Amino acid sequence: MKVVNYKDVLPVVMDNEMVKNVAGRLMIGKEDHAKNFCMRVFEIGKDGYTPKHTHEWEHEVFVHTGTGEVFIESEWYPLSKGSAVFVPANIEHQFRNISDEIFTFVCLIPSGAPEL
């Protein structure tokens, strides 16, 4: 079992050509013997975004704080506290912050995909 607040987990900071101003945390994964799916928390700062990319696994996302948008296939959709997003496998997608506040979301992936 495991009980931990995301603020007590050391983040991995991501900032390069593809991804800007993003901090990711692995919350529940293989090391915890979670054999079916994996939980991460991402924080996106002002003007930040995740990569626009496609992969063979799906995402299930829940927005915890802030205001952002998700690009799915060819359209941007607004997201706020309490929004849930299902991004199917093999669909192009990207998340971005659209406010000055930190945009925080939980993102789950099936086991076997890269955890962070």
Q: Which residues bind a second copy (CB under 8 A)?
A: 1-7, 27-28, 32-37, 39, 41, 58, 60, 62, 64, 70, 72-73, 77, 79-80, 82-88, 91, 106, 108, 110
The residue among 39 and 44 lying less far from a second copy, judged by its C-beta, is 39
Beta bridge partners of 82: none
Distance CA 66, CA 97 (A): 8
Nearer to a second copy, 17 or 93 (CB): 93
Residues 6+ apart with CB under 8 A from 7: none
Are 21 and 47 contacting, i.e. CB atoms less than 8 angstroms apart? yes
Q: What is the largest CA-CA distance in the chain?
A: 40
Nearer to a second copy, 17 or 45 (CB): 45
